[in-house]
Amino acid sequence: MGAMMIEDGKVDILNLGFLALDGVFASDLAVANAARVSFNQVSQEMTEKDVGLINFLMRERHGTPFEHGFFRFIMKAPIFVAREHHRHRIGHSYNEWSGRYSKLDSEFYIPRYVRTQVGKPGCYQYLPMSDEESRKVREEIELTAGQAFLKYDSLLELGVAKEVARLVLPLATYTKYYWSCNPRSLMHFCSLRNSLNAQYEIMEYAKAAELFFKDAMPITFEAFIKNGRVSP
Amino acid sequence: MGAMMIEDGKVDILNLGFLALDGVFASDLAVANAARVSFNQVSQEMTEKDVGLINFLMRERHGTPFEHGFFRFIMKAPIFVAREHHRHRIGHSYNEWSGRYSKLDSEFYIPRYVRTQVGKPGCYQYLPMSDEESRKVREEIELTAGQAFLKYDSLLELGVAKEVARLVLPLATYTKYYWSCNPRSLMHFCSLRNSLNAQYEIMEYAKAAELFFKDAMPITFEAFIKNGRVSP
Amino acid sequence: MGAMMIEDGKVDILNLGFLALDGVFASDLAVANAARVSFNQVSQEMTEKDVGLINFLMRERHGTPFEHGFFRFIMKAPIFVAREHHRHRIGHSYNEWSGRYSKLDSEFYIPRYVRTQVGKPGCYQYLPMSDEESRKVREEIELTAGQAFLKYDSLLELGVAKEVARLVLPLATYTKYYWSCNPRSLMHFCSLRNSLNAQYEIMEYAKAAELFFKDAMPITFEAFIKNGRVSP
Amino acid sequence: MGAMMIEDGKVDILNLGFLALDGVFASDLAVANAARVSFNQVSQEMTEKDVGLINFLMRERHGTPFEHGFFRFIMKAPIFVAREHHRHRIGHSYNEWSGRYSKLDSEFYIPRYVRTQVGKPGCYQYLPMSDEESRKVREEIELTAGQAFLKYDSLLELGVAKEVARLVLPLATYTKYYWSCNPRSLMHFCSLRNSLNAQYEIMEYAKAAELFFKDAMPITFEAFIKNGRVSP
């Protein structure tokens, strides 16, 4: 598996998902200026000193200067990932494909490598299962999810309301949504979801988000990493 | 079907769900006082004038005086309801049962009356299906969801991580969570979810929430209804 | 007094204040797309139908599609205006010039026309005072504020910490800050502050904000006005 | 100066300010339960293990379980303190005495000990001035603020609108407001304001808030202190 990459403004994730940048208006300069306005000193360009300033803000967890930017993504992810994502409330905006208003596509997530879980809450470890076991589990998931989608179709054909028919669809079903955030809320998402305690699948999205973050705000990103991915 | 009622601090909802009040600290007086502090006039009890004041605040959409109270619920609801609920961000706190850390119970929602959907986006109508059709659809849902739970169990027995095995579970699966909010965010939830455009299932929870709201803050509740359930 | 205008990305307000657009990333199209993603229908350009869609969203108070844009302003305003402004919490970010870290400029607000207040809370009227009275009051304000700034200077010269010396400065003192918001939170600000109940001075800033809003999102702005400046 | 104490639900602060608890609904148990609901294990009382659990949540910065409680305060503070306080947005609700609707009392803050500021931004030190200097500065502040209030009175007598007359009032003027928050947002306030970088005056309020916090949630408070007053 090669390294994750942005191609045409988009990162493919999992079997059918993606994170695409729909628009961005963010810069390291805006962070520096938002901090420097405290001293009534605003500038048109970054200086060497600003690198240190941004690192200082990150380390000392002065969060507000990181709010003056904007990222808008289109994200396609399995529902169980979207569920975790949408628990992020502050500085995050979402608009999602509705299973009440339109028929959901027959697309669902199947893990490439299946894992087992050992240990206790707070310190779980996730280990890959054997190829043979993985293959079997993948087939089972595909079969069960596939049957659920067939049932969904037949309920719709019977005239059942879409919002009711979806009851049978699995948590693996893909959904799609607009997601807007600012650099601070983006870092908060990444600090929690690109972490050892996060579930592998949402971690992939957090890693992709970091690629876009790094592109737009390289100095801020570096300071974020340097300070242990702790959101300010 | 009888009227919805609070029994032992709890309202049973749908086939297996509920909304239970875990704690409340809210009063009409706190609304009046938060408004009157503008004039540096705070009182220890409600007067006749305060009824008018609360109605004025509601009508003119002065929202902040309604934030100085607190409701904490335990809610058990199907995942597709929780998904809609958790989109409410501001003034809402949630902590939910995690399918990553523990095995989910084999409990899922089956609609008592199945409905069909007619009309166009923005003005759908939902009509009951015949008893015969309803019975058939209920059986299909039960069968499909039941099979998904059997598969879930067998994946867990194979040693698949809980967070992966849950992929096959249906959106009808019940989850459980703590939900805290303030009177203003509660009204916002009710105004959107106890409305003709809301899905029936979440509407039931919104109606239950209003029962608890009315109990704690009868004058505020009355003003809310009088002003067309428009959240201030 | 001529109509308020944007010149070089800036609107001059009151005697020494301004609202300047530091950056914007917002469009009517993003509103339409955020709404249409509900139906899994996203487009690259606005159509006639989208005008109706945006009006529908505004009227029915579907607020979330209006969150996917971004405005960043630099604002210079008297402290009593900043105080009212900073009460807007959700979807608003601020970074302000600090009187703890740097010396504040000797600049303060003097109203051009002084007004008197008649009537009762909830239905005040503000009427202009005579030219003669206005002139006198302006002089009094200028004198008192001027003396306060002289005292501020002399306390600083004595070595008093800036954060302490500022105690004597008047609420008329100008401050400056970065302000970022999204189209929804911007409308919320405008609906409350460009209103008959708002104080004249902050109303001027809200009017200026609407000029920038209209420039970036003409269709959304029109729908906002058409629906009585009620924030969705 | 004796230790800060709660008397009759109130802590006196600075020369004329206070922080009074108007109501509280918060407990350590609610934190433990909100965390344990992840495992579908909720209990009616705290156990030894819960102490460790709360410490774990604090250390690992799992913040949401700390949101299920409520504090409502009445706070009287100088305007420059209120200005810093009201910058706290998420999980904080405020309703304040309005200088537009009623006449403000002639009460202002005079520091007991005046301090000087040495060093550079990010690492200032504040040192007490001599008794003689302090006395002189106090007199100056009192004189200047007193004259501003006399001017305020005379402007009101001339019929100037309250919202205009207040322009001359100093930042030292006392205001009063309702403040509601949850344990998490309270900790966030305390972590920033009961800190070496905070201004002395707001630090006094943060210290008082911690007294109430400790009373209601002793185990959570202890974990907060143990983990370096870092808000989860």
Find the distance separating the first CA and the last CA of chain D, reported in whole Å: 32
Query: For B99, left (φ over 0), alpha (ψ -120 to 50), or beta?
Result: alpha
Strand order through the sheet with D174-181: D10-13, D17-25, D70-78, D174-181, D92-96
pLDDT value, residue A119: 85
Rounded Cα gap, residues D136 and C58, in angstroms: 59
- What's the mean per-residue pLDDT of chain D? 96
Confidence of residue A213 (pLDDT cuts 50, 70, 90): very high
Rounded Cα gap, residues C74 and A42, in angstroms: 10
Residue at D182: amino acid letter: N
Identify how many contiguous H helices and E strands chain C contains and give both numbers: 8, 7
Active-site annotation holder among D61, D135, D166, D193: D193
User: What is the helix (H) or strand (E) element at residue D190, kind and residue range?
Assistant: helix D183-193
Strand partners, D175: D77
Map residue D153 onto helix, strand or coil: helix
Mutate to test the interface with D, among B44, B95, B217 (most CBs of D within 10 A): B95
Residue A1, pLDDT > 80, answer: no
pLDDT tens digits for range C42-69: 888 998 899 999 999 999 999 999 999 9
Map residue A9 onto helix, strand or coil: coil
Rounded Cα gap, residues C23 and C21, in angstroms: 6
> In this complex, is the C-beta atom of B43 within 8 Å of any C-beta atom belonging to chain D?
no
Q: Closest Cα partner for C206 from C85, C64, C110, C112? A: C85
Contacting residues for B221 by C-beta, under 8 A, at least 6 apart: B210, B213, B214
pLDDT tens digits for range A55-74: 999 999 999 999 999 999 99
Rounded Cα gap, residues C21 and C10, in angstroms: 6
Handedness of CA A56, A59, A65, A66 (dihedral sign): positive
Active-site annotation holder among B61, B87, B193, B229: B193
Rounded Cα gap, residues D208 and C170, in angstroms: 28
Mutate to test the interface with C, among A93, A102, A106, A107 (most CBs of C within 10 A): A93
Tally of CA atoms within 13 A in the half-sphere of A145 that contains its CB: 24
CA distances from residue C104 to B89, B223, C99, C167 in whole angstroms, order as listed: 38, 46, 6, 12
> In this complex, is the C-beta atom of B122 within 8 Å of any C-beta atom belonging to chain C?
yes
Q: Helices marked H in chain C — which ranges?
A: 28-36, 48-59, 79-85, 131-157, 162-165, 183-193, 200-216, 218-226
Rounded Cα gap, residues A168 and A147, in angstroms: 10
| Structural contact between residues B216 and B26, judged by C-beta atoms closer than 8 angstroms | yes
Rounded Cα gap, residues D156 and D147, in angstroms: 14
Rounded Cα gap, residues A148 and D101, in angstroms: 62
Rounded Cα gap, residues C152 and C169, in angstroms: 7
Cα-flanking dihedrals φ and ψ of residue A217, to 5°? -140, 70
Contacting residues for C106 by C-beta, under 8 A, at least 6 apart: C149, C152, C153
Rounded Cα gap, residues A142 and D137, in angstroms: 78
Residue D1, pLDDT > 80, answer: no
| Structural contact between residues A220 and A31, judged by C-beta atoms closer than 8 angstroms | yes
- Residue D198 in tokens: 């905070």
| Structural contact between residues C75 and C181, judged by C-beta atoms closer than 8 angstroms | no
- Residue D153 in tokens: 């009175």
pLDDT value, residue B1: 52
Q: Closest Cα partner for D169 from D192, D185, D146? A: D146
Residue at C174: amino acid letter: Y
Nearest CA in chain C to D149: C144
pLDDT value, residue C1: 52
Q: Closest Cα partner for B22 from D25, D212, D219, D184? A: D25
CA distances from residue B212 to A78, B23, B25, B46 in whole angstroms, order as listed: 35, 10, 12, 20
pLDDT value, residue B54: 97
What's the mean pLDDT in A86-114?
Answer: 96
Nearest CA in chain B to C64: B87
What's the mean pLDDT in D193-212?
Answer: 96
pLDDT value, residue C31: 98
Contacting residues for B77 by C-beta, under 8 A, at least 6 apart: B13, B14, B17, B85, B174, B175, B176, B201, B202, B205
Confidence of residue A131 (pLDDT cuts 50, 70, 90): very high
Map residue D71 onto helix, strand or coil: strand
D193 is catalytic: yes
Rounded Cα gap, residues B141 and A227, in angstroms: 50
Size of interface A-D (CB pairs under 8 A): 9
CA distances from residue C203 to B12, C11, C71, C191, D3 in whole angstroms, order as listed: 49, 13, 18, 10, 46
Exposed / middle / buried, residue B199 (Cβ in 10 Å: 0-12, 13-18, 19+): middle
Asked if the Cβ–Cβ distance from C177 to A37 is below 8 Å, we say yes
SS3 of chain A: helix, strand, coil, percent, to 5: 45, 20, 35
CA angle A5, A7, A8 (to 5 degrees): 155
Q: Nearest by CB to D171, which of C116, C151, C166?
A: C166
CA angle A214, A220, A224 (to 5 degrees): 90
Asked if the Cβ–Cβ distance from D68 to B95 is below 8 Å, we say yes
What's the mean pLDDT in D219-229?
Answer: 97
What's the mean pLDDT in D174-186?
Answer: 98
Residues 21-40 (C) with a CB less than 8 A from some CB of A = 22-25, 30, 33-35, 37-40
Contacting residues for C197 by C-beta, under 8 A, at least 6 apart: none
- Kindly give the confidence (pLDDT) of every residue in chain C, 232 residues in length, as a single tens digit, with 9 standing for 90 and above: 568 999 999 999 999 999 999 999 999 999 999 999 999 988 889 988 999 999 999 999 999 999 999 999 999 999 999 999 999 999 999 999 999 999 999 999 999 989 999 988 767 889 999 999 999 999 999 999 999 999 999 999 999 999 999 999 999 999 999 999 999 999 999 999 999 889 999 999 999 999 999 999 999 999 999 999 999 9
Q: Helices marked H in chain B — which ranges?
A: 28-36, 48-59, 79-85, 131-157, 162-165, 183-193, 200-216, 218-226
Asked if the Cβ–Cβ distance from D37 to B178 is below 8 Å, we say yes
What's the mean pLDDT in A82-101?
Answer: 97
Residues in chain B with CB shorter than 8 Å from the CB of C122 are: 56, 60
- Residue D11 in tokens: 């802590």
Q: Nearest by CB to A39, which of D38, D39, D121?
A: D121
Contacting residues for B26 by C-beta, under 8 A, at least 6 apart: B69, B70, B71, B182, B183, B216, B217
Residues in chain A with CB shorter than 8 Å from the CB of C95 are: 34-35, 37-38, 64-65, 68
Q: With a cut of 70, which residues of chain B have pLDDT below it?
A: 1-2, 122
> In this complex, is the C-beta atom of C95 within 8 Å of any C-beta atom belonging to chain A?
yes
